[in-house]
Amino acid sequence: MKETIDLHQPTMRVLKILECVDRNPQGLSLTEISKTIGSPKSTIYPILNTLLENGYLKLNRFNNYVIGLKTFQIGLSYSANLGGIDIIRKEMIDIVDECKEICQLGMLVGDQVYYLEKVEPDQAIKILSYTGKYMPAYCTGLGKALLSFLDNKEIEKMYDGFKFEKFTEKTITNIKELLKEVENVRKIGFAYDNQEAMLHASCIAVPINMNTGYKLALSVTYPIFRGTEEKINSIKTNLKSKAKLIEEISKIHKIEIS
């Protein structure tokens, strides 16, 4: 029987604050943080001041709390030890060399995609992105690929009462459409985002079932004006090949992601 560990609640509040702010790069006010983590403003205000004073948080130009330099430095130190990411990155570089478009790696955190890694092409016009960001799973190729690991009941529970934000005219706005797309991923092995998260950009993604238990997804995103049939076929071929290779590598080498 697993031993129950009593967690230190004041420390948990600090962690919840950092996680909350990290998921909202635009910044959050004291009131917004209080509502999000379910703690009174009077309780978290001293914690926020302490994090500010020590550089773990900072205030942006709107006086909202955002991640500070100290937290960012810790993140970089952690990333430096992610040997598994380095292994996968080598395969991502190959994809970019072949497809000449940005390649990204993600994992599911709640109903969001967390972007673990990216490799950019040498293109004058390219899709802008960054590691460490979160995006909704329902409107991204990576997200749909990751949702394909869940059964429909789990997805329905995740989106019960959820308000689908419409990023573009093509964004999915209901659970019925989402389940249909996820089922298609299970059938064909590819997930698509056709200008759902961003206008003028499309994405193709594949799920990766790691032997170590991690569920990841790999994607290539491209401006629609470069989306020729030849380009799309190249992207699908490379993604499918590399996903299979990464899964095979994970059977030989223990790839740790978190």
Q: List, for residues 184-243, the tens digit of each pLDDT value.
A: 999 999 999 999 999 999 999 999 988 666 799 999 999 999 989 999 999 999 999 999
Confidence class of residue 1 from pLDDT cuts 50, 70 and 90? Answer: very low
**Structural domains of the chain ordered from first start:** 9-74 (1.10.10.10), 82-252 (3.30.450.40)
- Report pLDDT for 111: 92
Per residue in 115-162, pLDDT (tens digit) is 989 998 887 666 666 678 899 999 999 999 999 999 999 999 999 989
- pLDDT higher than 80, residue 258: no
Selection from 14-18, 71-75, 209-213 with the highest mean pLDDT: 14-18
Alpha-carbon distances, residue 238 vs 95, 156, 218, 224 (angstroms): 6, 32, 11, 19
Which residues are paired to 119 by β-bridges? Answer: 103
DSSP bridge partners of 204: 192, 220
- Mean pLDDT, to the nearest integer, of 91-98? 92
| pLDDT > 90? residue 57 | yes
pLDDT surpasses 50 at 90: yes
Report how far residue 63's alpha carbon sits from residue 59's, in angstroms, rounded to the nearest whole number.
5
Bridge partners, residue 140, by sequence: none
pTM above 0.85, yes or no: no
Dist. CA 133–CA 257, nearest whole Å = 16
Q: What ranges make up the beta strands (E) of the chain?
A: 57-59, 65-67, 102-109, 112-119, 134-136, 191-194, 201-209, 215-223
Residue 128's pLDDT is what?
A: 65
Residue 18 clears pLDDT 60, i.e. is over it: yes
Name the burial class of residue 102, with classes exposed (0-12), middle (13-18) and buried (19+) by CB atoms within 10 angstroms of its CB: buried
pLDDT for the residue numbered 77: 57
Strand locations in 78-152, DSSP E?
Answer: 102-109, 112-119, 134-136
Give residue 2's pLDDT: 45
**100's torsion region: left (phi>0), alpha (psi -120 to 50) or beta?**
left
| Mean pLDDT of all residues belonging to the chain | 87
